[in-house]
Amino acid sequence: MKPILNIAAYLFVRLADLPELRAKMLDQCNLLQLKGTILLTGEGINLFLAGKEKELRNFLEWLCADPRFSSMQVKESWSEDQPFKKMLIKLKNEIIRMNHPTIRPEEGRANFISPKKLQAWLDRGTDDLGRPVVMVDTRNAFEVDYGTFENALHFNIEKFTQFPKAIKAHKDELADKTVVSFCTGGIRCEKSGLFMREIGMQHSYQLEGGILKYFEEVGSAHYKGSCFVFDEREALEPSLDSIPVEHSIRKKLKTG
């Protein structure tokens, strides 16, 4: 077992006391010598943390003692070294900016599909009703370069605020398909799933837990490449190990 536990988690939930909550969380993280980034917003929390297993699990126990966070699900991976340089807790307007105020995941979720059910659909090529399945990548273009699902549709976007316009442009061609949107850990899909339903795409789902949860429960089936992550590890393989240095896109860009 590698010595450093890494967790990724989010939860859309109404939060009001952000400055006070930030101070309490920062005290706990510093006490337990954790590093990473936590985003606190009026619509919920998003966190990427790393540290020794006992200390990190103690933090999660402390955090989830607050009823607002008790249902939060955590994705885990392990590393040899601490992938973060410092501990940051930021206050934001949105967990992930979409610029669509009517999309409120904290008030209710879109339809979702589990990783294992998705694998069954992709193995067969259709959903349970025989409809063709199309995977839609909601991530930015540079993330897609690291890896994505086989034959996935992506829009070469540079930021998530461009997704609504992009999916609208493909709405008609996807009308007779079952659409499954996906992202790194599920956050963007909480909003993309609701948006697709809002514009009338009734046969749409979001992948529960994103690519990282799919790696954890399924592995590499129907996926090519790695998954970019927002820390010093750069990207994770379907085994949830860091990509080898020789495969690093960052290294290739730096060395030309």
Alpha helix segments (H runs only) across the chain: 18-31, 53-64, 115-124, 141-146, 163-169, 187-198, 210-217, 249-255
Indicate which residue of 29, 64, 183, 227 is catalytic.
Answer: 183
* Predicted confidence band of residue 223 (pLDDT cuts 50, 70, 90): very high
- Structurally, how many domains does the chain consist of? 2
In this structure, the answer to whether residues 118 and 237 fall within a common structural domain is: yes
Residue 132 lies in a domain: yes
The pLDDT tens digits of the residues spanning 177-194 come to: 999 999 999 999 999 999
Cα 92 to Cα 19, 44, 64, 126, 159, distances in angstroms: 11, 10, 21, 39, 17
In this structure, the answer to whether residues 117 and 86 fall within a common structural domain is: no
In this structure, the answer to whether residues 216 and 109 fall within a common structural domain is: yes
Catalytic (active site) residue 183: yes
pLDDT > 70: percent of the chain: 96
Residue 21 lies in a domain: yes
CATH code assigned at 240:
3.40.250.10
In this structure, the answer to whether residues 112 and 84 fall within a common structural domain is: no
Q: Is the pLDDT of residue 31 over 90?
A: yes
pTM attached to this predicted model:
0.86
In this structure, the answer to whether residues 109 and 51 fall within a common structural domain is: no
78, 1 contact by CB (below 8 A): yes
The pLDDT tens digits of the residues spanning 41-80 come to: 999 999 999 999 999 999 999 999 999 999 999 999 999 9
SS3 209: coil
In this structure, the answer to whether residues 189 and 81 fall within a common structural domain is: no
Residue 168 lies in a domain: yes
What range defines the domain where residue 236 resides? 105-255
In this structure, the answer to whether residues 124 and 249 fall within a common structural domain is: yes
Of the residues 63, 91, 119, the one at which a domain ends: 91
H or E element: which one contains 73?
A: strand 73-79
Residue 98 lies in a domain: no
Average pLDDT, integer, range 96-101: 90
In this structure, the answer to whether residues 73 and 151 fall within a common structural domain is: no
